[in-house]
Structure 1
Amino acid sequence: MNAQRSAGKLPGQERRAGAPSRLRRRRRGRGRGRGRSGSSFAGCAEPPADTGRAPAAMDYDHNKALLLELQRAAGTGNDRCADCGEPDPEWASYKLGIFICLNCSGIHRNLPEISRVKSLRLDFWESNLIEFMRNHGNLWAKAKYEAKVPPYYYIPKSHDCMVLRQQWIRAKYERGQFLDNPFHVSLAGSREGCLWKLGKGRRQFQKRQFLLSAREGVMKYYSKEQSKVPKAVISVETLNAMFQVEKIGHSHGLQITYITDGQTRNLFVYHESGKEIVEWFNAIRAARYHYLRTTFPNVPEPELIPRITRNFVKEGYMEKTGPKQKEAFKLRWFCLDSQERNLLYFKNPLDAFAQGQVFIGRKDEGYAVRDDLPQKVWVKKKKPVITLVTPVREFVFICENDRKQREWMDALNGVITQL
């Protein structure tokens, strides 16, 4: 009889009869599994599951108000991004219990085993997730994941390049690099390995062996992997490093500078691995910190930290004339180093050596910046000018537009007025 009934149905009719039941099971399965990664939770208590149920309008508005109130709550640290310090973060990791900015949320989104993110304003937050955020927060995360950050380690800000911010986040949450772990061994200030270095004539990058030793106070690099004699021995005393992504044209580009024979020498390097290049950068910082701590034992640490490494205050093209102020103006790449109080200029941004440099003293020593030309100096181009006054001579520069003129004048005045 059953066989006859089945035979009397059209093909696929029985499958359609059971389909709604299976559909309901699939929907329930999606709701239960949503928000889980299936792995351990970065050393933290497993957060409540995001059930994915459709919110009522009242729940949506009420919970959003609670979450925004929690983000603004005093004494929680939630009013700034937990990773880069950007104010008023509008995203959060409901797996780590932290409030983060839009840019850092993109990095967290690529770490699904460690972090899961939602928008504070656009996504629905269930009550149990809000309670989890209330019980954790940015200060709680800082105390746990940044417990053992070394004083030399560079903590990136919102304006820093992607590789610095990305590796900072991975070091904290993925590798647990700064947890209060008594078994963690650090080889700070010592490193050996290969980096791709820009060769002579700026034609191509070549693989070179580098060695850094804080104990010896030097960094060396070799032109060939098996060479016993280094191509250069660089004193940690004048060593500096800064990320230069756009200038070098690589997302992991690092500029290393040092003084040799009284001149500033540039090395432009990169590594394919973001982790490797950031570890090189922080190893250089560790070696510099060791040097400063040893050389200036009585200087307070807050005064030493800014001197470990530095970025140029301002870089870019300006046109420059010669000492007689009658020579033709030539386009040059300028770099302003506020710590050394030097304005360096190069024919090309990736040159190894500067064509010259101008020391910038204080106002009471006769240094000043003006937005006009010296007497008897005439310029054909109707573009904004800058006159840098020194006790020795006046330097005349032409800027591309008014905005760049203001930026350079502000930067130069900043050096002149600093103590």
Structure 2
Amino acid sequence: MSDTNSRKISELVKKDGNNTCADCGLPNPEWASYNIGIFICTTCAAWHRSLGSHISKVKSLRLDKWDDEQVQMIETVGNVKAKEKYEKHIPPCYRVPQAGDPPVLLEQWIRAKYERQEFIFVEKQTYICNSMEGTLMKKARAEKKYFPRKFVIADNTLKYYVKENAKEPKATVQLSELNVCLAPSKMNQDNGLQLSFMTDGSTRHIYVHHESSETIILWYAAIRNIKLNWLMVAYPNASAEELVPYLTTDFVIEGWLSKTGPNERDAYRRRWFILDDLKDAYPRGEIFLGYKDNNYNIKEGVPRGCKDHDFSFSLITPDRTYVMSAPTSDERMRWMAAIRTVLERPLRPQDNQSKMALASKRKSSRNSRQSWFSFNKDQHV
């Protein structure tokens, strides 16, 4: 009988809907939660085990034996029906993770679905709010230590205070100008969050974390929700689905490149480049990356009259062509692919305003946008 059930399971996982992980979409799942009735990948199976067997009972499709009742449950439910139940009311602001996304995002997505059942019972979605207050651990500017700071979201702004009873905030940021992204690997914090915004003509980054992964995702989702509400008011003709891609960005690529100046005699100088996610709170220089249809482009090689160097490539903007080189051909391809992805994405509705404001202050650095291409003389870790 076990051989018959194993064959049934092998056939069920091949059906449309079942052939990808019910939680992250990874093809060819190798596990299943038989009491929920879904097929899942190895990574998601680990998170399901952490829920406890009272919520999710996990088995391997190939290594474990299956009884009639378990197979019948999988056959009756399956991924499609389970999604209809557990993902019925996902708010537009909520970021549904894909395979390879930060673990904290995937963990809380699974807990939200099956443990807290947030998308079955809408009243459990506490991040659908206009204000929020709490304590997060903030990284100090000049050292690697983190200190507790009070953060407040209200009136479409984010404020943080050095002391709990402080009357004036240390910083106030308009949420419309704020980018928030999960950065656990860069910060060496499982629940790390990076807040980026413009101040005095430069990019500023605040790094925070919390011991609770649920809390950090609550802040992440709340900021996305309030930003979406602001965009829907500012751009009433756009649908929520059209605006969601502009809530937050996660371009992650950084490494050593050599950069030359605008003159033919300028030498190549080694710089640490970062596309969007910066390790340093204050970059030395920034290049605005616009939309490809507005005369932004990326090409291999150098312009005529410019000295070639290693594996060179040119970032073309309306005002200047930036010439850089990578240490290997693969690195050049990686950088060019990442930059091209940015250039092929239309500007966010508010990006042109940011560009104009920054241009008046930093003509030599040329702005910031949906993503920043920044560089520093030294690597910061």
Q: TM-score, normalised by structure 2?
A: 0.83
**Aligned-partner Cα distance in 1 for 2:63–2:270:** 52
Matched residue, 1:155:
96
8 Å CA contact 2:127–2:218 kept in 1: the answer is no
Deviation at 1:362, TM superposition (A): 4.8
**Aligned-partner Cα distance in 1 for 2:291–2:48:** 45
Matched residue, 2:247:
308
The percentage of aligned residue pairs carrying the same residue is 38
**Aligned-partner Cα distance in 2 for 1:273–1:262:** 34
Match of 2:15 among 73, 95, 100: 73
Deviation at 1:102, TM superposition (A): 0.7
**Aligned-partner Cα distance in 1 for 2:129–2:322:** 43
Matched residue, 1:54:
none
**Aligned-partner Cα distance in 1 for 2:293–2:212:** 48
Deviation at 1:162, TM superposition (A): 0.9
**Aligned-partner Cα distance in 2 for 1:67–1:290:** 44
Question: What's the RMSD between the two structures over aligned residues?
Answer: 2.2
**Aligned-partner Cα distance in 2 for 1:288–1:363:** 26
**Aligned-partner Cα distance in 1 for 2:226–2:240:** 15
8 Å CA contact 1:202–1:350 kept in 2: the answer is no
Q: Does 1:106 align with 2:46?
A: yes
Match of 2:285 among 352, 356, 366: 356
**Aligned-partner Cα distance in 1 for 2:324–2:127:** 48
2:158 maps to amino acid: M
Q: Does 1:369 align with 2:298?
A: yes
2:161 maps to amino acid: Y
1:121 maps to amino acid: R
**Aligned-partner Cα distance in 2 for 1:119–1:304:** 40
1:194 maps to amino acid: T
**Aligned-partner Cα distance in 2 for 1:386–1:251:** 35
Deviation at 1:84, TM superposition (A): 1.0
2:2 maps to amino acid: Y
SS of corresponding position for 2:204: strand
2:175 maps to amino acid: V
Matched residue, 1:385:
312
**Aligned-partner Cα distance in 2 for 1:191–1:334:** 31
Matched residue, 1:344:
none
Cα shift readout 1:177-230 (whole Å, capped 9, x = no counterpart): 2224668766524211111111122432221110012xx111100112211100
- Counterparts of 1:13-162 in structure 2 under 5 Å? 59-74=1-16, 77-112=17-52, 113-162=54-103
Deviation at 1:336, TM superposition (A): 4.6
Q: 1:127 to 1:292 in 2, by over 3 A?
A: same
Match of 1:206 among 147, 168, 185: 147
8 Å CA contact 2:256–2:270 kept in 1: the answer is no
8 Å CA contact 2:127–2:222 kept in 1: the answer is no
Cα shift readout 1:144-191 (whole Å, capped 9, x = no counterpart): 222222111111111111111111111111122222466876652421
Q: TM-score, normalised by structure 1?
A: 0.76
8 Å CA contact 1:172–1:178 kept in 2: the answer is yes
SS of corresponding position for 1:237: helix
Match of 1:227 among 166, 169, 181: 166
Matched residue, 1:413:
340
Q: 1:297 to 1:401 in 2, by over 3 A?
A: same
Matched residue, 1:251:
190
Matched residue, 1:345:
none
Unaligned regions of 5+ residues in structure 2, if any?
Answer: 347-381
Deviation at 1:61, TM superposition (A): 3.2
Match of 2:325 among 398, 405, 419: 398
Q: 1:253 to 1:228 in 2, by over 3 A?
A: same
Cα shift readout 1:333-359 (whole Å, capped 9, x = no counterpart): 32159xxxxxxxxxxx42222222222
**Aligned-partner Cα distance in 1 for 2:22–2:192:** 26
1:65 maps to amino acid: R
2:189 maps to amino acid: H
